[in-house]
Amino acid sequence: MKSYFLVLSAVVFPFMLLAEEITKVSGYAPKYVGKQIEIFQIMDYISMKQERIATATVKEDSTFSCSFYLDETRKLIIGSNNNTAHFYAVPGGSYEIYLPDRNPYDPYRPLGNQVELTFIGLDSTDINYKILSFNRWSDEFVATFYTRNNAEAVFFSKRLDTFKLDVENYYKNDTADKFFRAHIKFSLAKLDDLRFLGSRNQYEKYDFYLKTYPVYYQSDAYMEYAKHYYEKLLPRLSPKINDEVYQALLKSSPTLIMRAFAQEYTMNNNRRLRELMMIKILSEAYYDKDYPQTNILTVLDSVARFALFESNKVVAANVITRLTELAAGSRAPDFNLPSTNGTLHNLQRYQGTYLYLFFVDPDAVETKKQLDLLVPIHQRYTSQVRFLMVIRKQEKSDQKSIEALQQSVPWESVVVDNRHALFSDYQVTNAPYYTLIDPTGYVVSSPALGPIPNGQYETIDKTFFLIKKALEEGR
């Protein structure tokens, strides 16, 4: 009997631990009834790749609920219908929120609009409560004391020192929450980056904030500070070290690059940080015409397989994906999408012509608005560019609405289930989302311009005009 009890305990105990890590999110989203709520975690803060970890459909009474496994405290992204918000979650935590629609006075942004969620019944010990409270305190301090006159005087430097002491005294008993302590430390580090008389120089900042601090991959405060600290480091290196890095890159040797970086004071102490920042620096150099892209990808691939630290392998692999997938000039992911009339849509079907592939939500108000603008554009360039509309069908999507949408447009369309791999292959996190593919199956741009002007007042019409002009001149 005793041995049976031990075996039973060994089986049950892991499940008990797992249950403690299940995080729950529920709440109200009256503007999203019938739509899918999605929750993403940030895989790493260098590539900024996101991974969907939970979904839920908003019920008719506007409620939703979902649960998921969480291994450590993280910043999460929650969104629906091209609107997103963020919050922090701890393993085993439970959160009740209200998710609003975007402010009608805010301009629509094709890559997504930020909204501010509201917590319901948030406890003062919760990580969100503590971070929001500290951030408000910090913002009030800057707004009160960081003026042009004060920044040029010793006054601000003294006030900042006093503020840091006040913060430390106030939170001196809150030492168990590693994530919150990191948030405080590196939020204060950002204040040290403000320009004022008496501020620390770069070496002092390195010694105080980064030299001995363990790399904290899932702390957004730590990672944002570290990324900013090492941003565009290559031009700031001494000519000797810069040349050694370049020669090592020509040899596609991560080992030699690491040795070269070790000569830089701000990278010589923490090997894990040095390797991580090497990945970041190479990802920046990838877009610099002075550095060979093929060699950079070779080095990153080597790091992804043989990095000194396992976590850096994941980051390197994600960065490679970011640099190569759907980048201009990369091969477009193929697909096989049957339509209701039996036609099979794939890249081969559109070979020899430009393809404007775009994804829409049949229930979104923005969809009709943009499609109405696309109709005259399609009429002008129908001989040069083929249109294929992918309708993203969700659990509560109305079939009649989908059929009406298909009948209202003059181009080809297919209905695809929301869980189809096509959406991840083309990195579709919101809709409408546009991709332009050339006649040989390579990506021209993704995301491509849409019918609504971007920040430079450009629309896809300009791109199509240039395509038409080039094709006519080439005849």
* Homologous superfamily of the 337-473 domain (CATH): Glutaredoxin (3.40.30.10)
Contact 25, 97 (CB under 8 A): yes
| 7: confidence class by pLDDT, cuts 50, 70, 90 | very low
Measured CA to CA, the distance from residue 273 to residue 222 in angstroms comes to 12
| 404: confidence class by pLDDT, cuts 50, 70, 90 | confident
pLDDT tens-digit series, residues 171-206: 999 988 999 999 999 999 999 888 765 567 889 999
Contact 91, 72 (CB under 8 A): yes
| Domain spans of the chain, in order of start | 17-121, 128-229, 234-324, 337-473
DSSP assignment of 278-306, as one string?
HHHHHHHHTT-TTS-HHHHHHHHHHHHHH
pLDDT tens-digit series, residues 416-466: 888 888 888 888 877 889 999 999 888 998 889 899 887 667 889 999 999
Q: What is the pLDDT of residue 111?
A: 60
Q: What is the pLDDT of residue 153?
A: 67
Q: What is the pLDDT of residue 29?
A: 95
Report the alpha-carbon angle 99-400-39, nearest 5: 25
Measured CA to CA, the distance from residue 253 to residue 463 in angstroms comes to 40
pLDDT tens-digit series, residues 121-135: 999 999 999 999 999
Q: What is the pLDDT of residue 17?
A: 45
Q: Which residues are registered as beta bridge partners of 84?
A: 79, 114
Q: What is the pLDDT of residue 194?
A: 80
Q: What is the pLDDT of residue 116?
A: 92
pLDDT tens-digit series, residues 10-38: 444 444 444 458 999 999 999 999 888 99
Mean pLDDT of 195-222: 88
Q: What is the pLDDT of residue 295?
A: 95
pLDDT tens-digit series, residues 324-354: 777 777 788 888 888 877 788 999 899 889 9
| 317: confidence class by pLDDT, cuts 50, 70, 90 | very high
Which of 71-75, 240-244, 325-329 comes out lowest in average pLDDT? 325-329
| 215: confidence class by pLDDT, cuts 50, 70, 90 | very high
Q: What is the pLDDT of residue 199?
A: 65
Report whether pLDDT(148) > 90: no
Task: Tell me if 17-121 shares its fold with 337-473.
Answer: no
> What is the fold, at CATH topology level, of the domain defined by 17-121?
Immunoglobulin-like (2.60.40)
Q: What is the pLDDT of residue 474?
A: 64
Contact 117, 97 (CB under 8 A): yes
Q: Over the range 316-352, which residues count as b (16 or more CB within 10 Å of their CB) and which as e?
A: bbbbbebbebbeeeeebbebebeeeeeeebebebbee
Q: What is the pLDDT of residue 400?
A: 83
pLDDT tens-digit series, residues 272-309: 999 999 999 999 998 888 899 899 999 999 999 999 99
- Greatest mean pLDDT among 20-29, 91-100, 406-415, 450-459 lies in 91-100
pLDDT tens-digit series, residues 42-59: 999 999 988 999 999 999
Q: What is the pLDDT of residue 158?
A: 84
Report whether pLDDT(2) > 50: no
Residue 453 CB neighbour total at 10 angstroms? 12
